[in-house]
Amino acid sequence: MKPMTTRQKVLTLSIAGLLSSCGREDHSSLQSQIYEGSNFAKVWSEVNEGPYREGSLAEYKTSYSKFFEGSVNLLERAVNRTLSTPSDTLPRFQKLLHPIGICFAGTWTITEDNPYTGYFANGSKAVIIMRASEAMGNATTADWRAFGLAGKLYPTTDEQDPRQLKTANFFTVDDLGGTDSQSFLDLPKTNKPASSIHASSLFMIRTLKEIVSVFTAADNEPGVRQLYPIAELGLKPGQKAVTPIGFMLKSENSERTGIDDFRQELQLKHYANGLNFGIYTSDGAHPAPKRLGSIHLTRESLSDGCDHRLHFPHPRNR
């Protein structure tokens, strides 16, 4: 196979910018609202709305035609909303990319010394809501799958904390072009993922071109999701943030279920001690990833609310 051209690399990398929240409905009116944060328990209850019945999980396949409604470019509208609307949930909407998934609640814990600030600092603990998803709606091993993990950190250790708290969000993918991996847990998820090219990519070229056009107009370097919201979370006014460049989540579960649909594969009933991911970071001085702590997931939600209410605002690149 010929090496990828620069344009092919850009096409593939641009998928990362839409990891979790691009949808059809117009929520532009929310952009002008002042973000005061959200309440963990309330958001988790909204995530749990409309639990799916056994054997009736949602299906949705991403395609170029679904980016448009008459003369309206739904993808463009969704991208701009995702970059400018900080809300943690939205009225029900259809995600255009990463449309199907499973949500989790758990904890974020940093246990190792490091130079970073905010909730990367040693001793940091937070409650977290996460969503595991697939880029184009490919649930099973019959298709190449690009898996993503997005997270929403709340600066508290109490899930019943009554306060409205401002969150920090992160976004990771294993391979933007998809892989034939048999398990969601096999490959690490990073904020600057690999970009494989395979035969099925040829059928996606029109879709990828549209993603490139929209995302390069909205934000620079769309293939990298920066981490400064986590490094700034909890800082006092005037404190300087120190942020890692690289971010990786690596499964620490040895169990593999062999279940075809990744959403059923990740159900917690298959894992005696919940789902666990190591948190790794790197920077210019230390390019090799270093383990800082872990994420422990203990509750799940296979639901309409997970797929259609939860929103992960994207930080603009700086």
Q: Residue 18 is which amino acid?
A: L
pLDDT, position 220 = 59
Q: Is residue 1 part of a domain?
A: no
Could you give the C-alpha distances from 96 to 11, 58, 78, 135, in angstroms and in order?
Answer: 17, 14, 8, 9
The pTM score is 0.86
Q: Domain count for the chain, please give it.
A: 1
Range of the structural domain that residue 97 is part of = 6-308
pLDDT at 72: 86
- What is the structure's pLDDT at 219? 56
Asked if residue 315 belongs to a domain, the reply is: no
Would 316 be classed as within a structural domain? no
Alpha-carbon Rg for the chain, nearest whole angstrom, is 18
57 within domain boundaries = yes
| Ranges of residues in the chain whose predicted pLDDT is under 70 | 1-33, 78, 198-223
Residue 1: per-residue pLDDT:
39
Q: In terms of Cα–Cα distance, which of 99, 277, 109 is closest to 184?
A: 277
**pLDDT at res. 11:** 37
Asked if residue 46 is part of any domain, the answer here is yes
- Report the alpha-carbon distance of residue 125 to residue 317 in Å, rounded: 26
Helix (H, G, I), strand (E, B) or coil at 228: helix
Ranges assigned E (strand) in the chain: 68-69, 72-73, 100-110, 125-134, 147-154, 168-173, 189-190, 246-251, 275-282, 290-301
Residue 318 placed within a domain: no
The answer to whether position 23 is within a domain reads yes
pLDDT of residue 283: 94
Assigned domain for 214 exists: yes
